[in-house]
């Protein structure tokens, strides 16, 4: 037995089991870390190797990620950057010289942290099914759940299904435009991570088009093309020029020394500066977004419009011959300009179109072939004199050329339409004449007083002829001229003729006869409006009077009275006023009135007598618009207004306003007492009542006082209902104010403590002063007498001393109170 035991021990030394370090058979290591393991045995005759979980022998190569390193009695396994492929059973195999193998294994688990595979921003098609990609990698395997929104609400909608690689949406709608959270939980390690994914609901690009405000491109101006498209997210744009076969991207490039870019791209707009005809062509816009990268293309054909330009039209001047017909014509030609939407027409100088009439013809037969229209005058009349415009328009601009037709003709008198001038001796009069003429005439005034020296009359001149104050001539129209003679006649001038003459060199003339002016005609009274203290008289004066009325003379008196009180009133005449007012008349009295107009020619015909009766004095008359005053704009105040129609013949002395609660919903009955009268200025016609209750009906009374009595009006008002928000705010403010008025309890406590502390200090000071005085008295006694023997109790314990001192202090306290009172009294006296 002993031999067998020794033999087995020897065999065990030779054929012992393999040893692996680390010694644990189950190992867990983190991904991307390094790992080593040593496999050894006591026998030196063994050979070793490591076998991977994939049943592959690990090579001995230092450049490999997984390699082995041989030792004297074993082999070392080295793994760099652990991966999930390294997870499993690793075997160490030892082979002895007899070919016998011994194995030892270790189980390795590679710990992989939670890793999310999926874009953080994902575009999902609207109205379709889609899977939000999120693949969760972890070892041990992670449990995946989904949430949405900033609050991370768990997704429990049947429209969503959790898939192995993400979250499947059965039908995408706009509410899916949100943040989704992909969560991974590893229960074995306690690891948990959230991964946010921004889901953007998207639509492909559609309805792509290019627009341009008409007219789009005008030469030497700016053209702006706008590309519009639909899609989610919002489209982005690229611009190109040319056909599909030769597309060239549009880029900003400076032109000229000013360095202003020819093309400017801003988002969906392409701006072309300084447009010319070389910019004609096809422009395209490519619209796309993050969801639809290809997008759509739209095209636009740009046609640059050139503004029109007309050739100059030379003027034509002719001498009108009334005996023979004459013809003239003007040609209007377009030299340059786009024919698209081109319009060409002749217009008068006031921009109205010329219509064929009165010898005027328009010929358009050459418009299509030569871009030319012709204006003809056949025959020419004096009225054709003037300027005519040829107007050319297209989408870019409009322009015109002027054609001047100058017709020489004899001066023609045009006004004023009278042959008589009326005035008075030694009063300046004005004679005026107007002539149509071309060329411009020479204007003369001739006094037709035939004498031997001047048988044809005398040409008047300023500063030479008596009575001539001034002669002025001016042009007031294209061919219209006016001459004005200012003349002061004498008695000898009446009955003579004055001739206005125009020479160009043909002659035009017109004569005026000077006559003496007559006094004004009778005044026409249209209406008499009496009041209690006066009267208003409305009248019409004659417009055929020779001279203007200077003043009106009124004479009035009380009718049927024995003592005459005739009064005269002179009122200056005014062109704008056709009424006269007489004040300070007696009320309820009959009057008679005479009126006459006076001019420089004398006093005219008398009108009257006119009889009228003044009114009785009355209380004031005023009105109230209940529609305006019915509802108030505020809940605590109300603005009321009224209109004073008449003061009743006596001035209003004062105005009072009263108000009270209305008894019912419709009447003017009063519920309760009436307010104190509010006196306001008599000239005021509005007042704001304040201090009213919200949502309440009131009856308001307005009283107007004059010497006759009082006028009174009643009406209803209603204040607005106070809003709940206002009530709440007001109630809160009242509560806050009430709290502010109540003292804080801590303040009260602090005041009490301060009072107690002050009292203690005062008492302590009084006690100390008392003790100080007693000590001073004892010192004086000791100095006068010898020290007395000790009394019993001088050698008592501290406790006894304390009791004794306390007893003495209590006795002293009674005395100190009187001392304190005395000190306080002394302090008060000071």
Q: Hey, which bits of 451-559 come out as E strands?
A: 458-459, 468-475, 480-487, 497-503, 507-516, 524-530, 535-540, 549-558
**Does residue 796 lie in a domain region?**
no
Determine how β-strand 621-623 pairs with β-strand 643-646.
Answer: antiparallel
Q: Is 391 helix (H, G, I), strand (E, B) or coil?
A: strand
Task: Please check the confidence at residue 817 and state whether its pLDDT lies above 60.
Answer: no
Q: 183 with 191: CB under 8 angstroms? A: no
Between CA 550 and CA 256 the distance in angstroms is: 75
Same domain, 558 and 509: no
pTM above 0.75, yes or no: no
- Residue 700's CB is within 10 A of a number of other CB atoms, namely 23
Over residues 713-765, the pLDDT tens digits come to 888 888 888 654 444 454 454 444 445 455 567 888 889 999 998 999 999 99
State the average pLDDT over residues 87-103: 89
Between CA 167 and CA 828 the distance in angstroms is: 92
By the 10 Å C-beta count (0-12 exposed, 13-18 middle, 19+ buried), 386 is classed as middle
**Does residue 729 lie in a domain region?**
no
Same domain, 297 and 216: yes
Q: 355 with 367: CB under 8 angstroms? A: no
Tell me how many domains the chain contains: 7
State the DSSP H helix or E strand holding residue 344, giving kind and residue range, or none if neither. strand 343-348
Of the listed ranges 103-107, 339-343, 427-431, 558-562, the least confidently predicted one is 558-562
Same domain, 444 and 483: yes
**Does residue 787 lie in a domain region?**
no
Q: 350 with 296: CB under 8 angstroms? A: no
Same domain, 582 and 641: no
**Does residue 75 lie in a domain region?**
yes
**In the prediction, which pLDDT does 563 show?**
66
Domain final position from 58, 77, 112:
112
Same domain, 397 and 487: no
Between CA 368 and CA 344 the distance in angstroms is: 11
**Does residue 246 lie in a domain region?**
yes
**What's the distance, Cα to Cα, between the start and end of the chain in Å?**
128
Angstrom CA distances, 196 to 29, 182, 528, 774, stand at: 28, 6, 95, 89
Token readout for 478 is: 């294209």
Domain final position from 499, 516, 533:
516
Buried b (16+ CB within 10 A) or exposed e, 74-111: bbbbbbeebeeebbeebbbbbeeeeeeebebebebebb
Same domain, 420 and 470: yes
Same domain, 633 and 710: yes
Between CA 568 and CA 474 the distance in angstroms is: 47
Q: 341 with 314: CB under 8 angstroms? A: no
Same domain, 394 and 424: no
Q: 179 with 199: CB under 8 angstroms? A: yes
Same domain, 584 and 555: yes
Q: 218 with 396: CB under 8 angstroms? A: yes
Over residues 499-520, the pLDDT tens digits come to 999 999 899 999 999 999 999 9
Over residues 99-140, the pLDDT tens digits come to 888 899 999 999 999 999 999 999 999 999 999 999 999 988
Domain final position from 65, 93, 112:
112
Q: Residue 633 belongs to what domain range?
A: 621-724
Same domain, 421 and 387: no
Between CA 82 and CA 278 the distance in angstroms is: 68
Instruction: Give the domain CATH number at 642.
Output: 2.60.40.10
Q: Nearest-5° angle of CA 691, CA 692, CA 694?
A: 130
Same domain, 427 and 503: yes
Q: Which pLDDT band holds residue 683 (cuts at 50, 70, 90)?
A: confident
**Does residue 103 lie in a domain region?**
yes
Over residues 638-670, the pLDDT tens digits come to 888 888 888 777 788 889 999 999 888 888 888
Same domain, 551 and 604: yes
Token readout for 23 is: 């010694």
State the average pLDDT over residues 29-36: 91
State the average pLDDT over residues 147-153: 94
Task: Please check the confidence at residue 825 and state whether its pLDDT lies above 80.
Answer: no
**Does residue 385 lie in a domain region?**
yes
Angstrom CA distances, 560 to 589, 592, 612, 661, stand at: 10, 9, 12, 56
Between CA 712 and CA 592 the distance in angstroms is: 36
Between CA 169 and CA 132 the distance in angstroms is: 8
Over residues 443-492, the pLDDT tens digits come to 999 998 766 566 678 899 999 999 999 999 999 998 999 999 999 999 98
Q: 512 with 523: CB under 8 angstroms? A: no
Q: What secondary structure, in 3-state letters, does 722-783 show?
A: CCHHHHHHHHHHHHHHHHHHCCCHHHHHHHHHHHHHHHHHHHHHHHHHHHHHHHHHHHHHHH
**Does residue 19 lie in a domain region?**
yes
């Amino acid at each position: 037995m002993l031999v067998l035991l020794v033999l087995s021990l020897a065999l065990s030394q030779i054929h012992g089991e393999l040893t692996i370090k680390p010694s644990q058979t189950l190992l867990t290591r983190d991904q991307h870390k390094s790992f080593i393991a040593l496999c050894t045995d006591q026998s030196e005759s063994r050979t070793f190797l490591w076998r991977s979980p994939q049943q592959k022998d690990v090579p001995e190569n230092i450049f490999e990620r997984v390699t082995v390193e041989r030792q004297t009695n074993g082999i070392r396994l080295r793994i760099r950057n652990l991966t999930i492929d390294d997870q499993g059973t690793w075997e160490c195999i030892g082979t002895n010289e007899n070919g016998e193998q011994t194995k030892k294994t270790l189980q390795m688990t590679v710990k992989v942290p939670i890793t999310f595979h999926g874009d953080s921003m994902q575009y999902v098609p609207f109205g379709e099914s889609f899977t939000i990609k999120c693949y969760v990698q972890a070892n041990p395997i992670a449990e995946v759940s989904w949430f949405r929104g900033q609050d991370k609400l768990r997704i429990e909608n049947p429209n969503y299904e959790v898939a192995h690689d993400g979250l499947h949406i059965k039908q995408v709608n706009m509410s899916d435009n949100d943040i989704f959270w992909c969560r991974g939980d590893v229960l074995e390690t306690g690891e948990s991570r959230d991964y946010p994914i921004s889901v953007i609901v998207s639509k492909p690009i559609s309805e792509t088009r290019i627009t341009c405000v008409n007219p789009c491109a005008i030469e030497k101006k700016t053209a702006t093309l706008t590309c519009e498209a639909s899609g989610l997210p919002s489209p982005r744009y690229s611009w190109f020029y040319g056909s599909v076969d030769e597309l060239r991207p549009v880029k900003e490039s400076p032109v000229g020394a000013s360095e202003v870019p020819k093309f400017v791209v801003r988002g969906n707009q392409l701006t072309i500066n300084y447009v010319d005809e070389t910019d004609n062509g096809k422009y395209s816009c490519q619209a796309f977004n993050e969801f639809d990268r290809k997008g759509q293309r739209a095209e636009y054909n740009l046609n640059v419009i050139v503004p029109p330009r007309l050739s100059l039209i030379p003027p034509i001047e002719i001498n009108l011959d009334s005996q023979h017909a004459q013809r003239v014509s003007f040609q209007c030609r377009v030299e340059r300009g786009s024919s698209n939407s081109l319009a060409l027409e002749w217009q008068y100088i006031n921009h109205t179109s010329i219509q064929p009439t009165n010898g005027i013809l328009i010929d358009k037969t050459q418009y299509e072939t030569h871009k030319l229209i012709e204006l003809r005058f056949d025959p020419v009349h004096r009225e054709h004199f003037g300027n005519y415009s040829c107007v050319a328009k297209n989408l870019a601009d409009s322009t015109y050329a002027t054609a001047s037709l100058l017709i020489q003709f004899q001066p023609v008198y045009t006004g004023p339409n009278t042959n008589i001038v009326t005035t008075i001796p030694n009063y300046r009069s004005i004679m005026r004449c107007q002539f149509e003429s071309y060329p411009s005439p020479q204007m003369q005034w001739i006094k037709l007083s035939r004498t031997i020296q001047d048988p044809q009359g005398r040409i008047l001149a300023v500063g030479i002829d008596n009575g001539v104050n001034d002669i002025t001539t001016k042009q007031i129209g294209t061919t219209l001229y006016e001459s004005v003679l200012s003349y002061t006649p004498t008695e000898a001038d009446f009955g003579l003729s004055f001739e206005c003459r125009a020479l160009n060199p043909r002659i035009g003339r017109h004569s005026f006869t000077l006559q003496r002016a007559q006094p004004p005609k009778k005044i026409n009274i249209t209406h008499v409006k009496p009041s209690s203290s006066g009267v208003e008289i409305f009248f019409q004066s004659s417009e055929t009077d020779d001279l203007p009325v200077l003043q009106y003379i009124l004479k009035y008196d009380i009718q049927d009275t024995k003592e005459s009180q005739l009064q005269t009133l002179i009122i200056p005449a005014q062109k704008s006023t056709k009424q006269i007012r007489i004040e300070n008349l007696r009320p309820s009295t009959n009057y008679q009135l005479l009126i006459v107009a006076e001019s420089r020619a004398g006093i005219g015909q008398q009108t009257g007598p006119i009889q009228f009766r003044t009114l009785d004095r009355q209380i004031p008359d005023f009105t109230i618009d209940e529609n305006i005053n019915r509802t108030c704009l505020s809940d605590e105040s109300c603005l009321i207004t009224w209109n004073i129609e008449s003061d009743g013949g006596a001035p209003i002395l004062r105005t009072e306003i009263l108000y009270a609660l209305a008894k019912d919903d419709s009447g003017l009955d009063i519920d309760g007492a009436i307010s104190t009268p509010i006196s306001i200025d008599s000239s005021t016609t509005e007042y704001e009542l304040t201090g009213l209750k919200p949502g309440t009906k009131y009856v308001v009374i307005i009283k107007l006082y004059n010497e006759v009595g009082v006028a009174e009006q009643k009406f209803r008002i209603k204040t607005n209902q106070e809003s709940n928000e206002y009530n709440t705010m007001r109630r809160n403010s009242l509560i806050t104010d009430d709290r502010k008025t109540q003292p804080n309890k801590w303040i009260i406590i602090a005041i009490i403590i301060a009072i107690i502390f002050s009292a203690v200090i005062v008492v302590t000071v009084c006690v100390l002063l008392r003790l100080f005085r007693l000590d001073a008295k004892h010192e004086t006694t000791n100095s006068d007498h010898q020290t007395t023997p000790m009394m019993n109790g001088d050698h008592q314990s501290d406790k006894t001393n304390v009791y004794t001192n306390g007893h003495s202090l209590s006795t002293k306290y009674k005395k100190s109170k009187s001392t304190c009172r005395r000190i306080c009294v002394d302090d008060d006296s000071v």
